[in-house]
Amino acid sequence: GNVRGAADVLSLLSLLLLCGVAPSRQELAPVQLRLGGPRGPAGEGRLEVLYQGRWGTVCDDGFDFHAATVACRQLGYTAAITWTHSATYGQGEGPIWLDNVRCGGSEGSLAECVHNGWGVSDCHHGEDAGVVCSGQRLPGSSPQVSGLTLEEVRLKPILARAKLSMPVTEGAVEVKHNGRWRQVCDASWTRNNSRVVCGMLGFPREKPINTKLGSAASRGLQKNSFWVHTVRCQGSEPHLARCPVQVAPPAPRQHACPHGMHAIVSCIPGPAFQKGTGKGKNKTAPGKPATPLLRLRAGTHPGEGRVEVLRHGQWGTVCDKQWDLAAASVVCRQLGYGTAKQALLGARMGQGLGPIHMSNVRCTGHERSLGECRFQDAAQSGCQHEADAAVRCHMPHTDFKSQVRLAGGRNPEEGVVEVLVPVQGRLQWGAVCGAQWGLNEAMVVCRQLGLGFASHALQETWYWAGSPDATRVVMSGVRCAGTELALQQCQRHGPVHCPSGGGRFSAGVTCTAHTPDLVMNAQLVQETAYLEDRPLGLLYCAHEERCLSRSADSMQWPYGHRRLLRFSSQIHNLGRADFRPRMGRHAWTWHQCHRHFHSIEVFTHYDLLTLNGSKVAEGHKASFCLEDTNCPEGLQRRFACANFGEQGVSVGCWDTYRHDIDCQWIDITDVPPGSYIFQSPAASRTCKSGPSTVAALTSTAPVPPRTTTSACPAPHAPADSGQSPATPAPVCLQ
């Protein structure tokens, strides 16, 4: 009998090989399935398979409706509605366990279908398959613990003070199942479990449980709604759905939580969400700077953006080779957020500028900074900026959004700013004084509302009617750094003082989901800068366009000269929208002296500051011509000035002004020798992050014209958390 059975097996193997299909090893027990990806309706998501203790995905090659039917039935649903391809529900991580899956439709498990073999695949995660199942469950089927279900987790406050605080940082763990919140038993509950829950809720770390919480929970919470019996996390998982979970009690007729205790978690919020930190400034322990330092760029919402690290004094990006949720979660936690919701590939948050510092980043998930992970120098990997990595992080739930609104606009993205603040002991809606209202303040409002960036900051809003219950000015003198999460975190007057009286002079904003981000190439400034003593006879046109210091007005023209700090500038658009002049061609200004049109009167300011920040000289660059001077490979130049063409800077492209063009300088005739900081914030109000770039130059004794620079350190700037602008840092130019 054994011989005959072996012969039958060999015949079957031969038949499979002749058909060109590699045999799949059949499992005695059905494999476990779950649905992953962004939250959505129950029964749809990325299909994930648990094999040998690791969750992985299924490639969409050969996947069809029959395979989706088997998967949905295995997940406990009556039928499949459809299936999806090309990572519709986001790219998974880990191995791709199944490829070329072929099902007849009647199999009881996906493992019973024909496939290439476990882990045998030539796919990438951009080909992850998903399914959409019917909402009806099979009679008698036990609910499957899927990623979509367990991603809905919350902490139910227990102590009175916790119920009043926002965000909620401690309480009993609850998961949502079939529209009901169910509690989790503390059987074998570990601090690793708490770490994962805190990460999902937007908090970087957990802390030991206060003993008062446990006793209060036993008195104040129901004991008959336990659903999850045991959770076993390693602490590196990005969310609870990736941890082994036991739903039913280990033995029949046993209570889901024999001792009747609830799993209690206490989380530590990041600096921006801690009480008493005011504007959420990150305070690093002295003598322990994070290495490498991190920031996020070009994200529409807080906690998302292109990952940039500071190494060797230069900001640079991270290549997306092997970029996954574990590495992204380390980034998010390091910035004071929770774990990562998504690890984004292919420059989804725009292409960066400068070096690519890291590639093939491999993290365990327990590292405190990205620098502790294993990585390869990107110079050896051949990465380009079209492969820049980005993240979306879990953020704490706050009530910031409910404290501000826009009224009277033509659409929900614009209007008069109205805030909810305490007035004489009670909360009241009111307007914001338009005096001194600027783009930084507007940025905070748009971020607080989840509307992205500010494209306009308006000090007069007579054409928008505010709400009848918010006519009173309740906030004035608002001054924001631009990085706050709510307008209420910004500095403002104690007693309201608004001489204009509000009304038509109330503050307003226009928000946009995508915006240009103009960044100057500081290294090019350093490499091309020189001093020139230029005769006055060659500066008549520049003087007419106010490109010289005021002292030039009193000189005996055309005798004498002006000392100019000249340099080339290269303005990159690293944002996610084209930069265009606000005025159409019909409104451009003709300048007779230079015989050309200006599409923007002042495009860029150039400032020379002392080391303590006092301005000693300034220059500006009018938009003589705003065009795509160059674009990276694969992008077409779309804006050109020739023949009165359309002007602008496309996403990913850059506009270059050479050092020998008029006004491409700072007049330093009246500046004594010394060390100074050179700063160039773009004048456009669509730049999202204040100073587009900051370099610093050191001018010593008088230097002959056309002096070249010596080798100096690269420009650098301190780190920031999230979207804060860079600040000046000295860079040598001799």
636-649 as b/e: b if 16+ CB within 10 A: eebbebeeeeebbb
**Could you tell me the two tokens for 136?**
């009806």
Residues 570-587 have a mean pLDDT of: 80
Give which of 518, 479, 525, 469 is closest to 657, Cα–Cα.
Answer: 525
Quote the pLDDT of residue 667: 92
The answer for residues whose C-beta is within 8 angstroms of residue 536's C-beta and 6 or more apart is 552, 555, 557, 558, 559, 560, 561, 562
pLDDT at 340 over 80: yes
The torsion region of residue 382 among left (phi > 0), alpha (psi -120 to 50) and beta comes to: left
Quote the pLDDT of residue 13: 34
Would you state the torsion angle of the CA atoms of residues 337, 342, 346, 347, taken in this order, to the nearest 10 degrees? -30
Q: Measure the CA–CA gap between 144 and 30, rounded to whole angstroms.
A: 13
Quote the pLDDT of residue 708: 27
Q: Is 628 exposed, middle or buried (0-12, 13-18, 19+ CB in 10 A)?
A: buried
**Cβ–Cβ < 8 Å for 428, 341:** no
Give residue-wise pLDDT tens across range 543-560: 888 889 989 999 999 999
The answer for residues whose C-beta is within 8 angstroms of residue 509's C-beta and 6 or more apart is 406, 414, 415, 417, 442, 445, 446, 454, 456, 457, 458
Q: Measure the CA–CA gap between 297 and 693, rounded to whole angstroms.
A: 13
272-283 as b/e: b if 16+ CB within 10 A: bbeeeeeebebe
pLDDT at 222 over 60: no
Q: Is 316 exposed, middle or buried (0-12, 13-18, 19+ CB in 10 A)?
A: buried
Q: Measure the CA–CA gap between 138 and 78, rounded to whole angstroms.
A: 5
Q: Using DSSP, state whether 130 is helix, strand or coil.
A: strand
Q: Measure the CA–CA gap between 384 and 635, rounded to whole angstroms.
A: 14
Residues 374-397 have a mean pLDDT of: 86
**Backbone φ, ψ for residue 380 (5° rounding):** -90, -10
What is the share, in percent, of the chain residues with pLDDT greater than 70?
75
Residues 614-641 have a mean pLDDT of: 81
**Cβ–Cβ < 8 Å for 329, 323:** no
Q: Measure the CA–CA gap between 63 and 83, rounded to whole angstroms.
A: 8
Residues 519-543 have a mean pLDDT of: 89
pTM score: 0.62
pLDDT at 416 over 90: yes
Residues 467-493 have a mean pLDDT of: 89
Q: Is 382 exposed, middle or buried (0-12, 13-18, 19+ CB in 10 A)?
A: exposed
Length of the chain: 734
Angle CA 509–475–444, to nearest 5: 40
Quote the pLDDT of residue 728: 36
Q: Measure the CA–CA gap between 332 and 390, rounded to whole angstroms.
A: 11
What is the share, in percent, of the chain residues with pLDDT greater than 90?
24
Angle CA 205–207–208, to nearest 5: 155
**Cβ–Cβ < 8 Å for 36, 22:** no
pLDDT at 507 over 90: yes
Quote the pLDDT of residue 38: 67
Domains annotated for the chain, with CATH where assigned, are 21-133 (3.10.250.10), 151-269 (3.10.250.10), 293-393 (3.10.250.10), 404-512 (3.10.250.10), 518-699 (no CATH)
Indicate the DSSP class of residue 479. B
Query: If pLDDT is split at 50, 70 and 90, which confidence band does 520 have?
Result: confident
**Strand 245-246 with 314-318, pairing:** unpaired
Residues 628-634 have a mean pLDDT of: 85
Q: Using DSSP, state whether 601 is helix, strand or coil.
A: coil
Indicate the DSSP class of residue 673. S
Give residue-wise pLDDT tens across range 228-277: 777 888 888 887 777 877 765 555 556 667 666 788 899 999 888 876 54
**Cβ–Cβ < 8 Å for 299, 350:** no
Q: Can you point out the beta strands (E) in 602-694?
A: 604-609, 615-621, 654-657, 665-667, 674-680, 693-694
pLDDT at 644 over 80: no
**Cβ–Cβ < 8 Å for 565, 705:** no
Give residue-wise pLDDT tens across range 152-211: 788 888 766 666 667 888 888 888 765 667 788 887 788 999 999 999 999 999 988 766
Give residue-wise pLDDT tens across range 287-316: 444 445 899 988 878 889 999 999 888 889
pLDDT at 54 over 80: yes
Give residue-wise pLDDT tens across range 94-138: 899 999 999 988 888 898 899 998 989 988 888 899 998 876 666
Instruction: Kindly report which listed range (65-79, 198-212, 216-230) carries the lowest average pLDDT score.
Output: 216-230
Q: Measure the CA–CA gap between 454 and 448, rounded to whole angstroms.
A: 11
Quote the pLDDT of residue 704: 30
Q: Can you point out the beta strands (E) in 88-210?
A: 96-98, 130-133, 153-156, 170-177, 180-184, 205-206
Q: What is the chain's mean pLDDT, rounded? A: 77
Quote the pLDDT of residue 53: 79
Q: Measure the CA–CA gap between 126 and 475, rounded to whole angstroms.
A: 49
Q: Measure the CA–CA gap between 669 and 564, rounded to whole angstroms.
A: 7
Residue 604 one-letter amino acid: T
pLDDT at 26 over 70: no
Residue 82, CA distances (Å) to 131, 324, 714 in order: 6, 28, 54
